[in-house]
Amino acid sequence: MIFEMLRWWYATGWLQAARRIGGWTSAVEHNFSLSLLANTLFAPWRRIISVKGRSLDDKMHAAMDNLVSRCVGFVIRFFVIIAALVGMLVAFVTSLCMTVIWPFLPLLVLFFIFKGITG
């Protein structure tokens, strides 16, 4: 039974750990909806749009309101995109480290068992 576990650990299990690199990164991208954020980067915030009136003053007021709404939308979406990219980087590095450390984990268990007995 131990040999079956070791055979899985160093073959199938290691491949599954390597596949998690793309899986975790794409999960972060999916949860943040990066493509939607990029497509709507300059869209008004929460679709807050002022309707233009008849007078020039109303039109200028609506244009300024719409500009402010778009600027707020851009700033918020920009920082969310930055946060998503940082999250993707953290997920990538974490899963890469896990893949590299994976073959040494059984040895660490044996080391800590030995250290606990002799310590």
pLDDT tens profile 40-64: 888 888 777 777 778 888 888 888 8
67 pLDDT exceeds 80?
yes
Task: Count other Cβ atoms within 10 Å, centred on residue 73.
Answer: 19
89 pLDDT exceeds 90?
yes
In the chain, the amino acid numbered 4 is: E
Domain ranges, residue 93: 2-118
Q: How confident is the model at residue 119 (pLDDT cuts 50, 70, 90)?
A: low
- The pLDDT value given to residue 82: 97
The pLDDT of 64-89, averaged and rounded, is: 93
Supply the pTM of this predicted model: 0.76
Burial tier of 57 (Cβ tally within 10 Å: 0-12, 13-18, 19+): exposed
Q: How confident is the model at residue 7 (pLDDT cuts 50, 70, 90)?
A: confident
The number of domains in the chain is 1
Six-digit token string for 58: 């109303």
32 pLDDT exceeds 90?
yes
117 pLDDT exceeds 80?
no
Kindly state the percentage of the chain with pLDDT values over 90. 33
Name the phi and psi angles at 53, rounded to 5.
-95, -165
